[in-house]
Amino acid sequence: MNNPIDVIASLGVVPVIAIEKASDAVPLADALLEGGLPVAEITFRTEAAADVLAAIRDARPELVIGAGTILDRDSLRRAIDSGARFALAPGYDPDIVDAATEADLPFCPGIMTPTDLTLATARGVRLAKFFPAGVAGGPKALSGIAAPFAHLGVRFIPTGGVTQATIGDWLAVRQVVAVGGTWIAKTEDIREGRFKAIAQNAAEAVKTARQALDARA
């Protein structure tokens, strides 16, 4: 299963992580792997993001790493050079979509409205991040937004406001590939070295997502 999106879809959940120090990269990776979650979105909200990606790439290549909060071409290039196998953004920027396409990198731009999705699909986007998912109206809102685009085969990764308790609600929407979650590996948990807790959070998320995916099969 070499396609990172296939890996994400098989799991149903992606941890969205803002990590402050590259020295925490490998312990974080080990915690996620221990919890049965071999994927991570490292957001470019910290100066350490590129170094974290590179450290995980080199030390734990079995973890499928991606980059989040990609807002410009420079961040995209640094993410790719550091080993990112996929990338996401909070909004839709056609220039970044084009750059990711040129680099042959699976890229998931953010959308919140039918207008956003109209513009994105016109550019060839078929996997979008629904963000901020909670504020935007939850699973019912996404179902309504997605309906007119169903014939295009558009799929989604809702992120922002998703919790352990709502994984099942989101994955009940068949167009949802996976949910993105910040609760799995919070910045403060990483900072304080609570990697056992992160491993437990990962395991619980994987279990809940598996149950939800099986229920809709």
Catalytic residues: 41, 129
CA distances to 29, 54, 99, 107 from 61, in Å: 10, 10, 25, 20
CA 129 to chain CA centroid, nearest Å? 8
C-alpha 145/C-alpha 155 separation (Å) is 11
Three-state DSSP class for residue 17: strand
Query: Residues near 190 by Cβ (< 8 Å), separated by ≥ 6?
Result: 17, 19, 20, 24, 28, 198
